[in-house]
Each structure stands twice: as structure tokens, then as C-alpha cells.
Amino acid sequence: MTQAIQRGLAVHGLGTGLYMCGPRWAEPPYYVIVTEVTEPSPQLNRALSDTVDAALHEMNIEYASKRDSGRLGALEVVTVPRDAIAAYVESRRQAGNATQYKYKPFQRDVDFVTALTDR
């Protein structure tokens, strides 16, 4: 997944900064990736969604099989401003022990999407 994200961002001249990824349990389920960019936009979201999905399809035969059979939907990339993910991670830390919550790019669900965006 990381390589597909890096490849998809590079197609658009973007470097890989902080990102978070998790499954959205819909019918069919699909992955949501939130990534930091200088200028977030719906157009960039669509373009990145297409390029990252294509890269992952090419790089991972299991992903390709599930996408081709309809068991997995196309992934969605959502862009947020720089430092949004770092601020989110910082906000999740407990006041009593600042080391309890660490940045993890891969999540078990997509609760982070609502916290980082208006979705």
C-alpha cells in the first residue's frame, strides 16, 4: 500500500508526507486514504484516487483480483492541509502519558476520516 501511495503521489509531482489508511466497511468495502498536501482539492482527490488505485491494482495481484471481481471497491484518497494529520495525532494523546498514542498510518477503521475532514 505504501508503495502504491508513493507512486500515485509521484505521478502528480507530490512527495509522500504523513498519510492514514483504513477500510470503509461498505458494500463493497474499500480503502480510504487521507494524505497531506499543500493545496487539497476535490479534483486532486479524484486524480489521486485513480492513480493510487491503478498502482495498487498493478502491484498487488490479490487487490487486483478483488477489484476485478467486485469484492472490493475502488479506494478513495482524501487530501487535507499539511500538518492536519500531525495535529490529529497530537490531539489523540492522553494528557497523562504523551507516549500512549503514536502515529500509525494503517488503521482498523476510518474514524480518522471524520476527525480530519468534514466527511
- For residues 89 and 2, the model is more confident at 2
Q: Residue 106 above 90 pLDDT? A: no
Asked, for residue 118, whether it belongs to a domain, the answer is no
The CATH number for 32's domain is: 3.30.70
Q: What is the pLDDT of residues 2-29, one digit of tens each?
A: 999 999 999 999 999 899 999 999 999 9
- Answer whether 92's CB lies under 8 Å from 8's CB: no
Q: Is the peptide bond before 40 cis (omega within 30 degrees of 0)?
A: no
Mean of pLDDT values over 113-119: 77
Q: What is the pTM of this model?
A: 0.88
Is residue 4 within 8 Å of 59, Cβ to Cβ? yes
> Cα–Cα distance between 52 and 48 in angstroms, integer?
6
Position 59 confidence tier, pLDDT thresholds 50, 70, 90: very high
Please check whether residue 119 lies inside any domain of the structure: no
What was the pLDDT predicted at 99?
A: 60
Beta pairing partners, 34: 20, 78
Structural domain for 48, as ranges? 2-108
Q: How many domains does the chain have?
A: 1
Any residues with CB less than 8 A from the CB of 63 and at least 6 apart, and which? 56, 57, 72
54 within a domain of the structure (yes/no): yes
